[in-house]
Structure 1
Amino acid sequence: MRRGRVRSARVPAVLVVLVMALAGCASIPDKGDVEPVKASPQDESQVRVYAVPPPQNASAGDIVDGFLEAMTSDDPGFAMARRYLAKDEAHDWRPQKITTVLSEAPDLEGPAKPPSADQPGLTYQMHGEQIATVDEGHVYRPLKPAAYQQALHLIQEKVGDHKEWRIDALPQGLVLGASDFQRNYRPVDTYFFARGDGWLVADPVFIRQRIDPLTRMDPITQAVNTLLSGPTGWLEPSVTSSFPAGTRLAAGTRTLQFDDSNALTVPLSAAAKKASPDVCKKMAAQLYFTLRDLTSTRVSQIALRAGGSALCSVTGDEALAYAPGNASGRSDDAFYVDSDGRLARLRPEDKRGSDKDSLVPGPFGDGGVKLDAVAVARDERTAAGVAQDGKSLYVASITGGGDAGDPLVTSEGKKASDRLSAPSWDSRGDVWVADRDPDHARLLQFESGASSPAEVRVDGLGGRRIEAVRLSSDGVRIALLLTRGDRTSLEIGRVDQTGTGAHRTLEVEDLKSLTPQMETVTAVSWAGPSRLVIVGKEAGGVQQVRFIQADGSTSDASVLPGLNQVTAIAAGDTDAKALVADSEDAGIVQLPSGGNWQAVVDHGESPVYPG
């Protein structure tokens, strides 16, 4: 027997409530006490699911259906969900252990045979397509879509004066369809300091949209608690936290609220008192960046307290000194290579067409080196360019004259597609490029954009070829397009760099796939501290331009329609900067925030923002 997720009206498993906006249809009560109402975090879902207990004499199928629905609710401690379980299993079930995400809510099949004296129980099978998991540490892991099947076993157990069907064997954790997962969870970037550097690195995790059923913490408190727990295991080798060991929220803290000026005071345990004033400021900066996207208005101040005493505070402007990759204060300009192989500047106000005034000074702008691909340093004073034949990499000033000098490296690949990739700059002013020569494939870094390259070992490459290289603004993570056969995938790794000069050792570690569900990815750019924009397609699908988080999570809203035949994409450090793309149909186009794609240059390629 195959069961759907729609049950008869006589056995309600949950109550689904659509919360109406105040501007819509609403009634004003004229009785009852006045109670304070806490404002909801921005973007809170308007659909709420409230679990209800199993009705008396419910069938085994209705018990299974009811339990699956109750898992999608915000019920405290999942108490109602546990009422569908046998007594021992209700005590042992750990919903926090893992969340399994399916493309749709699970289907049910079973039982294969009715209960008998020898086998009095019933077994149902949950079926679906698994696309991701979220572990106990709130870490999202995308998976190549695969068949999912797990058993639920039921017995008849005495409940009051009756025997009722209850589940006595089931997998640990929650099983949710993608829509229920997105309704119940939201991504949050927690922030930690890059080892050896003074800027922050985003570490994405998932928390509950509303009150956490197990901790009873609101979303702001959940985010703070997760930050204090430290970085995720994948990022931990590359970052540090300023919070002294053992620092936790003050005992009993379940709710944190911004005041009328959008300032927040965070009460911490006594361990926080060990921090010096300077370290305390860094602690507050970590909190500022972690919490800034959880409120609809700009955070004005983060203040820390411990044991009833004020420790320190930072304003929003002060916290910007620790911005990821030290990204504050940059211009909004993008760059591109024109039809004559010259480097030109693209300003946000530019409309269709370009003129010679947009060309940068120096050999990249005057045609001294004809470019095929380019990267502009983050200080916008220097650029690295690959010549049109793909063989040679040059670095030159884009603020003054002079020539490009000798190439930093020359590839021996027999054709352009087997030579140098587009370069990328990290936050320390180093240039990265991949040589795609099949006979001598390698990833290279040029310290301070100078000669004497260091060859970078890439752990887990497994014979795949590096097609494209993009460093994150913090310099801690590297995005690589890796090709095997006809498939190109997007993976990111941690950059482990020690020493300088001749004593440098460089390695890319712990590669992880961000796009296991996609058939191929053809272009990528970082689009902020923990987000990328990619061009690619799923199996049997059409080309998409979409955003993807650095943990591989996406949403339907992340797909950007209205652009075809895209060969390159570029995004800035903030959402305020327009996306820029190279389309074979329209030339260089840009997408302003809240606007539509606009053609700005008829003939150009290799659009980039600094980095």
Structure 2
Amino acid sequence: MIGHGGRIGAAASAACLVAALSGCASVPTGGPTFPGRGDNAGGQADTFTRLIPAGPQPGVGEGALVRGFLKDMGSFEENHKAARLYMTEDEQAVWKPSDQVLVYGEMDAVRFDVEAVEEDRTARVRMRTPLYATIRTDGQYVPADQGENIDIAFDLTKVDGEWRIADLPDDLLLSRRDVDRVYRPLNLYYFNRDLSTLVPDPVFLPVQPTTDITEQLARALIRMLVDGPTDWLAPAVRSSFPEGVDTAVSYESGMITVELGAGADGTGTEERFGMGAQLVWTLKQLPEVQELTLRIGGEDVEFAGAEGGSLQTSSQEWNAVNPSGVDGGSLRSYFMRDGQLWSLDADQQESLVEGAPGEGTTLLERHAVSLDEDRVAGVVPDDGSVRVAELVDGSEYATVLADGEYTSLSWDVYGNLWVLQDLSGEADDAEEDEDLADDTERGDAASSDSERQGEPGDPATRLWLLPGGSDPVEVTAPELADAAVTELRVSRDGTRVAVLTGTGETGAVSVGRVVYGESAVTLQGFLPLAADLTSVDGLSWRGADQLAVLGQKDRGALQAYLVPLNGSGESTSAGAVTGSDMKTIAAGPGLPLLSGTEEDTISMSSDRLMWRRVADGTNPVYPG
């Protein structure tokens, strides 16, 4: 059994659930609303804003009927009973809405074109609007690419003198407001490649006010967790649950029992610990879930070190695989001053590091510290090399990459060093050489611009992975081949990378997965993030499911923002340093944000209104 203890108070749990699940984000537009609770809400008051559907109005035209249908589609109660009222009886009986959702922005941006098929008897209404996002059947929220549109048709017929929908798509069509009201962004948790760290898999889950919301979410999370990760993350993670195992879930007053079928009978201690860890971290997101029992073969699974406390209370057993990948409270930050590498502890006490990095005889233009804080890698501007040294007395730098323009460094939990190389300078040099040849070789025709720029498909960047900080292996990243990647940061768990493409007003953020094959490492499946920011100039991993970036909104001032990885695009301002422009951003799990400024000072913020100067220096970083 995992965790003991009674339920938390109803008022406290409701407040916690609102904060944790981001409920009631906005007011829907389909009709009057009120904060609702189900018959068995059990302390879930004020966690759901209920839509009161308007229903089909008498005498409305074809376009108005479809408009009303879309508004009432935001009511999920009784299997979309409100939306079915807009359909013919035959269509009501056969319509089975898909779990996939097409998300649009606002109703005012939707265009309805009516085509009469048979005058005053049948018609077709074509709905067109920009696609904002798709919630896939596995719960993943995927932002739309620029220029993607929703373009679908509804067939209508007259029934007793009123227009009704006779045929329509299976996909749900919801506005952003409806998604904010009905869906809850949560994480499933799976393991990284070596089972050392849990990795969040963000999903969006719908809820209804007719039953206990915590129970709804708990059951849905367990079902999805056991079924396996989203299609996007699956190639990069592992699950401890046997494939296809049957699962039974019981819930009562904050106590959950998960019973696995015969497919789990042969699992060993390691697999059972993994299943317990995945369940604990997934269910910890629901504050009212206090106790979990995992049962296999009719017997409760016992976990050493996990007895005697609430599920919501941290224990060493489960923290060993916590999603941050590190013990966040113990991490120091590192920065450069006068060519020397310094550390800054939680009390803002400075210390000069040991070994070659602290001596300052080799200047590092940019640097990254390994997660175990044993090594530092840096780019030497004098010769463009990447060098690595241990942070121990008497250490020396070793050159691991040479003869290139290396722009970004980061470490993962496996001890791999990731290095981004900019190849644009090589293309420029080749162009200059050809221009010189054109000027000096008489009788030769001048080269065209396309000829001077190299072969089509030549990559703009190259990515290296150095296991243990040495022996570089080139990483395959087809989707980045033609992109001007200016920064790349690997997640501390080693399963994903965040990249910044473009600079200044064109800077944009995306995230891709890391897939290890038998003979190659590949980056794939890049998805856009921070769609609400007009530009991004720097990025860092704050936690396993959140980035910190420097960005701008609508030509506003450059400042820090927190960006969720769930794809929703809702970035949160973390403020800006007063009196000096921010140049870099650094973040760590559960740690204050750091920024290097134009004045070669370092500022820290645990509160977006309270940035303060903590040291003189440049390029502050946390390990990773």
TM-score band w.r.t. shorter chain = 0.7 to 0.9
> Contact 1:277 / 1:312 at 8 angstroms: preserved in 2?
no
> Contact 1:13 / 1:65 at 8 angstroms: preserved in 2?
no
Deviations 1:403-433 (A, max 9, x none): 4334222234xxxxxx212311111112111
Cα distance 1:13–1:459, how it changes in 2: closer, same or farther (>3 A)?
Answer: closer
Q: 182-191 or 559-568, which moves further after superposition?
A: 559-568
Deviations 1:129-179 (A, max 9, x none): 322111111111112344745355453444xxx443212233332222222
State the match for 1:402 in structure 2: 394
How far apart, CA to CA, are the structure 1 residues paired with 2:150 and 2:511? 30
How far apart, CA to CA, are the structure 2 residues paired with 1:303 and 1:490? 40
Cα distance 1:156–1:271, how it changes in 2: closer, same or farther (>3 A)?
Answer: same
How far apart, CA to CA, are the structure 1 residues paired with 2:535 and 2:284? 34
> Contact 2:101 / 2:136 at 8 angstroms: preserved in 1?
yes
How far apart, CA to CA, are the structure 2 residues paired with 1:519 and 1:327? 32
State the match for 2:347 in structure 1: 349
How far apart, CA to CA, are the structure 2 residues paired with 1:244 and 1:529? 25
How far apart, CA to CA, are the structure 2 residues paired with 1:90 and 1:77? 11
- Equivalent of 1:509, from 513, 516, 524? 524
- Equivalent of 2:79, from 51, 62, 77? 77
Cα distance 1:65–1:543, how it changes in 2: closer, same or farther (>3 A)?
Answer: same
How far apart, CA to CA, are the structure 2 residues paired with 1:197 and 1:72? 40
> Contact 1:49 / 1:74 at 8 angstroms: preserved in 2?
no
State the match for 1:570 in structure 2: 586
Cα distance 1:249–1:138, how it changes in 2: closer, same or farther (>3 A)?
Answer: same
Please give the TM-score of this superposition, normalised by the length of structure 1.
0.80
Please give the residue correspondences for 1:516-555 in structure 2 after superposition, counting only pairs within 5 Å: 519-537=534-552, 543-555=558-570
- Residue 447 in structure 1 maps to residue 440 in structure 2: no
Partner AA of 1:337 in structure 2: M
What secondary structure is seen at the aligned counterpart in 1 of 2:284? helix
State the match for 2:25 in structure 1: none
Shift of 1:376: 1.1
State the match for 2:70 in structure 1: 68
Cα distance 1:116–1:394, how it changes in 2: closer, same or farther (>3 A)?
Answer: closer
> Contact 1:144 / 1:516 at 8 angstroms: preserved in 2?
no
What secondary structure is seen at the aligned counterpart in 2 of 1:284? helix
How far apart, CA to CA, are the structure 1 residues paired with 2:30 and 2:539? 44
- For the aligned residue pairs, the C-alpha RMSD in angstroms reads 3.4
- Equivalent of 1:40, from 37, 40, 44? 44
Cα distance 1:454–1:40, how it changes in 2: closer, same or farther (>3 A)?
Answer: same
> Contact 1:495 / 1:507 at 8 angstroms: preserved in 2?
yes
State the match for 2:156 in structure 1: 155
How far apart, CA to CA, are the structure 2 residues paired with 1:74 and 1:228? 25
How far apart, CA to CA, are the structure 2 residues paired with 1:598 and 1:247? 50
> Contact 1:424 / 1:471 at 8 angstroms: preserved in 2?
yes
- Residue 96 in structure 1 maps to residue 82 in structure 2: no
- Residue 387 in structure 1 maps to residue 377 in structure 2: no
> Contact 1:372 / 1:387 at 8 angstroms: preserved in 2?
yes
Cα distance 1:546–1:189, how it changes in 2: closer, same or farther (>3 A)?
Answer: same
Cα distance 1:607–1:76, how it changes in 2: closer, same or farther (>3 A)?
Answer: farther
Partner AA of 1:489 in structure 2: A
- Residue 367 in structure 1 maps to residue 354 in structure 2: no
> Contact 1:194 / 1:474 at 8 angstroms: preserved in 2?
yes
Cα distance 1:147–1:544, how it changes in 2: closer, same or farther (>3 A)?
Answer: farther
- Residue 86 in structure 1 maps to residue 116 in structure 2: no
State the match for 1:304 in structure 2: 294
How far apart, CA to CA, are the structure 2 residues paired with 1:563 and 1:99? 40
How far apart, CA to CA, are the structure 2 residues paired with 1:266 and 1:552? 30
- Residue 142 in structure 1 maps to residue 143 in structure 2: yes
Percent identical among aligned pairs is: 28
How far apart, CA to CA, are the structure 1 residues paired with 2:360 and 2:191? 41
What secondary structure is seen at the aligned counterpart in 2 of 1:460? helix
> Contact 2:530 / 2:569 at 8 angstroms: preserved in 1?
no
Cα distance 1:184–1:117, how it changes in 2: closer, same or farther (>3 A)?
Answer: closer
State the match for 1:32 in structure 2: none
Partner AA of 1:66 in structure 2: G
> Contact 1:211 / 1:218 at 8 angstroms: preserved in 2?
no
State the match for 1:181 in structure 2: 179
Shift of 1:36: 6.0
> Contact 2:513 / 2:524 at 8 angstroms: preserved in 1?
yes
State the match for 1:202 in structure 2: 200
How far apart, CA to CA, are the structure 2 residues paired with 1:150 and 1:435? 41
How far apart, CA to CA, are the structure 2 residues paired with 1:46 and 1:583? 43
What secondary structure is seen at the aligned counterpart in 2 of 1:51? coil
State the match for 2:594 in structure 1: 580
State the match for 1:292 in structure 2: 284
State the match for 1:129 in structure 2: 130
Please give the residue correspondences for 1:148-297 in structure 2 after superposition, counting only pairs within 5 Å: 148-153=149-154, 155-158=156-159, 162-210=160-208, 218-250=216-248, 253=249, 256-257=251-252, 259=254, 264-295=256-287
- Residue 467 in structure 1 maps to residue 465 in structure 2: no
How far apart, CA to CA, are the structure 2 residues paired with 1:96 and 1:216? 23
State the match for 1:3 in structure 2: none
How far apart, CA to CA, are the structure 2 residues paired with 1:471 and 1:567? 20
Cα distance 1:93–1:545, how it changes in 2: closer, same or farther (>3 A)?
Answer: farther
Please give the residue correspondences for 1:421-432 in structure 2 after superposition, counting only pairs within 5 Å: 421-432=407-418
Cα distance 1:82–1:602, how it changes in 2: closer, same or farther (>3 A)?
Answer: same
Please give the TM-score of this superposition, normalised by the length of structure 2.
0.78
> Contact 2:532 / 2:569 at 8 angstroms: preserved in 1?
no
State the match for 2:326 in structure 1: 327
How far apart, CA to CA, are the structure 1 residues paired with 2:51 and 2:139? 22
Q: 462-471 or 53-62, which moves further after superposition?
A: 53-62
How far apart, CA to CA, are the structure 2 residues paired with 1:212 and 1:610? 46
Cα distance 1:184–1:424, how it changes in 2: closer, same or farther (>3 A)?
Answer: same
Shift of 1:231: 0.9
The list of structure 1 runs, each at least 4 consecutive aligned residues, that deviate by more than 6 angstroms after superposition, is: none
Q: 427-436 or 263-272, which moves further after superposition?
A: 263-272
Asked which structure has the greater RCO (Cα within 8 Å, sep 6+), the reply is: 2
> Contact 1:242 / 1:279 at 8 angstroms: preserved in 2?
yes
Partner AA of 2:369 in structure 1: V
Cα distance 1:329–1:551, how it changes in 2: closer, same or farther (>3 A)?
Answer: closer
How far apart, CA to CA, are the structure 2 residues paired with 1:526 and 1:205? 19
Shift of 1:525: 1.0
Cα distance 1:256–1:604, how it changes in 2: closer, same or farther (>3 A)?
Answer: farther
Shift of 1:242: 1.2
How far apart, CA to CA, are the structure 1 residues paired with 2:112 and 2:499? 45
How far apart, CA to CA, are the structure 1 residues paired with 2:328 and 2:555? 43
How far apart, CA to CA, are the structure 2 residues paired with 1:366 and 1:304? 54
Partner AA of 1:368 in structure 2: T
Partner AA of 2:82 in structure 1: M
What secondary structure is seen at the aligned counterpart in 1 of 2:247? coil
How far apart, CA to CA, are the structure 2 residues paired with 1:484 and 1:347? 32
Equivalent pairs, count: 549
Shift of 1:331: 0.9
What secondary structure is seen at the aligned counterpart in 2 of 1:304? strand
How far apart, CA to CA, are the structure 2 residues paired with 1:248 and 1:581? 49
